[in-house]
Amino acid sequence: MFRIRRIYDEVLPANRNALDQVKAIMRSRFAAVPAEEIDQLGRHLRDPFLKSFLTILFVAENLRQRVQGFAFLLHEPKIRFCFLDWIATKAGMASGGIGGALYDRVRQEAAAFGARGLFFESLPDEASLCPNEALLIENRKRLRFYEQYGARPIIGTAYEKPYKPGQTCMPHLMFDGLGRTERPERDLVRAVVKAILERKYAGYVPADYVKMAVNSIDQDPVQLREFRYVKPQTVSAAVSGRPGDRIALVFPDRHFTHHVHEKGYVEAPVRIRSILKEIADRSHFEMVAPSEFPERHITGVHDLDFVNFLRRTCREIEENRYVYPYVFPIRNKTRLPKDRYILAGYYCIDTFTPLTRHAYTVARSTVNCALSAAKEILNGRRLAYALVRPPGHHAERRSFGGFCYFNNNAIAAQYLRAFGRVAILDLDYHHGNGQQDIFYQRADVLTVSIHGNPGFAYPYFSGFSDERGEGEGEGFNLNLPLPEAVDGDRYRKALTVALKRVVDFNPVFLVVALGLDTAKGDPTGTWSLTPRDFEINGRMLGELGLPTLVVQEGGYRTRTLGINAKHFFEGLAVAHSAAIPIKWPSN
């Protein structure tokens, strides 16, 4: 069993680890490649302009994340071609279909880029060009493999001509039409040869050789060698669509025990069920079981005494009893009352979020879900969804409220932060006061929130546009309060501003606090977003191409929750799989 995964960076531990294994395979398989060139491989992922190609690395890895093979694909967006720079499997192992699977994946990627052809080099299979008998056997096997896709050497040019005296076994330039049977045009091949020799072989090939090789391409269209190993009618050249990354879906199994049976308490277990019902059969998702994480992740963003208070107090509450905070410390904030139930007001921001016997344990398992989904991102997954309740974005450093106990998205962001800058984008109808409070003085986590103006919307005391962060964090909190009546168009104007700020911040990870209470008919909101709007919003987020963790926040109209979530993820997944995470300079 193996899977093919694209490695986008050398930031995440799982990616760094894969890249190290790729380098080790290269050293063992390609002894002639200079050591410094292998050491540079990671830089090409970071800096695609290094040789004016966008570098894409695919690895085939087994279930224990051992790399079995890899392929480096170069994309040239102006001439519109792809060049397969390296493809190799681990030494000593029978390919077991790995080489074929990697080549298939490379073709899908090249086709998705709209490349006019996939080019690469392959060593010759004729004794007159390659005197080494053992090598010849290998070369024939390889050319036979490519012929099955219709890919063959370009002939009638001087590409194989040595550029240094004594060189033998010069490679053919190969052409794979990616399902098209026409031969390549002369101008395309000329431009490709020039780009490869000048950029990839910069410093090796003299300028007059480049000119000679380019001018030698004079037939139009260029000729391909006749099939030598397979019958043309057996060729299977069609390219299938590029597979999108599936979204890791994590949800809690024990949330039902936290159920406040009171009129108007809309934060109920049915919320998760109604979303799951719509998305569980969707091919975009892959369920991942949550794992346990230590409490230090929670105390990384919440005060220890607050966490202790929640744990101890909830434990003492009888089944089906609700402890509502009702006295709040406007004065004498330092004198704590002895009675734990009265103390609830010291740690809470409102009177409608009760403590229950199970509130702590359920909130704790919710945190585990958010962290498990974040861990999927660290393992190289591009999209993950923690479908959780109770929500978390109103929980501040030392207080609960607004149905929230622990701030799931902030805890996940803090966890990801160890590996790179994080932007949190809160799309709930209500202001994300929790993560604003937690990261208010920090510049390494950007907090952005689009919400109903606190003049009329909960939490009333925060969410104003002049709250911009403090100290080092100044300028790293952005609030976009909107009026009471907002439709999809108006919302997207704000979302455009929010995304621009996210892009300027240049984060490694995006955390989305997804509230669905912006929807038409939500009992806690006043806006009118439709399923179609959610799909467009998802698409706009996906176009950023960032590793994205979505954490469920509010959304209470259970009749439409699922359908809106489904549309949001549809837009997100489709746009994300097509996104090129690197912006090319306009010149």
Q: Which residue in 343, 305, 337 sits closest to 324, CA to CA?
A: 343
Residue closer to Zn ion, measured from CB, 13 or 521: 521
Q: Is 53 or 400 the residue whose CB approaches Zn ion more closely? A: 400
Cβ proximity to Zn ion: between 76 and 553 the closer is 553
The catalytic position among 358, 394, 431, 451 is 394
Which span sits near Zn ion by CB under 5 A: 136-144, 228-236, 429-437, 532-540? Answer: 429-437
The secondary structure of residue 248, as a DSSP letter, is: E
Q: What is residue 4's DSSP assignment?
A: E
522 contributes a contact to Zn ion by CB under 5 A: no
Quick one: DSSP state of residue 258? -
Cβ 449 to Zn ion shortest distance, Å: 11
Q: CB of 423 within 8 A of CB of 511?
A: yes
Residue 426 touches Zn ion, criterion: CB under 5 A: no
Closest to Zn ion by CB, 434 or 542: 434
> Least distance from C-beta 430 to Zn ion, angstroms?
4
Closer to Zn ion at the Cβ: 12 or 516?
516
> How would DSSP label each residue in 103-152?
HHHHHHHHHHTT-S-EEEEE----TTT---HHHHHHHHHHHHHHHTTT-E
Q: Does 428 bind Zn ion (CB under 5 A)?
A: yes
**Residue entry with tokens 């159920």:** 259
Should residue 430 be labelled a site residue for Zn ion when binding is judged by CB under 5 A?
yes
Instruction: Give min distance, CB of 561 to Zn ion, in A.
Output: 12
Which of these segments, 137-145, 223-231, 358-366, 421-429, binds Zn ion (CB under 5 A)? 421-429
CB of 92 to Zn ion, least distance (A): 57
How many residues form the binding site for Zn ion (CB under 5 A)? 6
Among 517, 522, 533, 535, binds Zn ion (CB under 5 A): 517
d(CA 574, CA 555): 23
Structure tokens at 460: 């009333």
AA identity, residue 196: I
SS3 of residue 509 by DSSP: strand
* Residue from the set 124, 184, 515, 562 that interacts with Zn ion by CB under 5 A: 515
Three-state DSSP state, 521: coil
* Beta carbon nearer to Zn ion, 467 or 517: 517
Q: What is the nearest approach in angstroms of Zn ion to the Cβ of residue 551?
A: 13
Please say which residue, 178 or 513, places its beta carbon nearer to Zn ion.
Answer: 513
Q: Is 452 helix (H, G, I), strand (E, B) or coil?
A: strand
Q: Which of residues 551-580 bind Zn ion (CB under 5 A)?
A: 554
Q: How far is the CB of 525 from Zn ion (least distance, A)?
A: 7
Pick the piece of the chain touching Zn ion (CB under 5 A) from 224-232, 304-312, 430-438, 459-467: 430-438
Q: Say if CB 155 and CB 174 are below 8 A apart.
A: no
Q: What is the 3-state secondary structure (H, E, C) of 143-211?
A: HHHHHCCCCEEEECCCCCCCCCCCCCCCCEEEEECCCCCCCCCHHHHHHHHHHHHHHHCCCCCCHHHHH
Asked about 284 being catalytic, the answer comes back as: no
Q: Are 441 and 472 in contact (CB under 8 A)?
A: yes
Q: E strand or H helix at 491, and its extent?
A: helix 488-505
Instruction: Report the nearest approach of Zn ion to the CB of residue 404 (Å).
Output: 9
Q: Please, which residue, 191 or 480, has the CB nearer to Zn ion?
A: 480
Name the segment binding Zn ion (CB under 5 A); options: 5-13, 242-250, 276-284, 420-428. 420-428
Q: Is 117 in the site for Zn ion (CB under 5 A)?
A: no
The stretch among 119-127, 202-210, 515-523, 527-535 that binds Zn ion (CB under 5 A) is 515-523
Q: Rounded to the nearest whole angstrom, what is the least distance from the CB of residue 552 to Zn ion in the complex? A: 11
Which residue number is nearest to Zn ion in terms of Cβ?
554
Helices and strands (H and E) in the chain: how many:
17, 16
CB 457 → Zn ion: shortest distance, Å?
A: 9
CB closer to Zn ion, 450 vs 536: 450
Candidates 40-48, 148-156, 412-420, 508-516: pick the segment binding Zn ion (CB under 5 A). Answer: 508-516
CA distance 87 to 120: 10
Q: Could you write out the DSSP letters of every residue in 48-104?
A: TTTTTSEEEEEEEEETT--EEEEEEEEEETTTTEEEEEEEEE-TTS--TTHHHHHHH
Q: How far apart are the first and last CA of the chain?
A: 44
Looking from the CA of 409 toward its CB, the CA atoms found within 13 Å total 42
Residue positions annotated with a catalytic role: 394
Which residues of this protein are in contact with Zn ion, per CB under 5 A? 428-430, 515, 517, 554
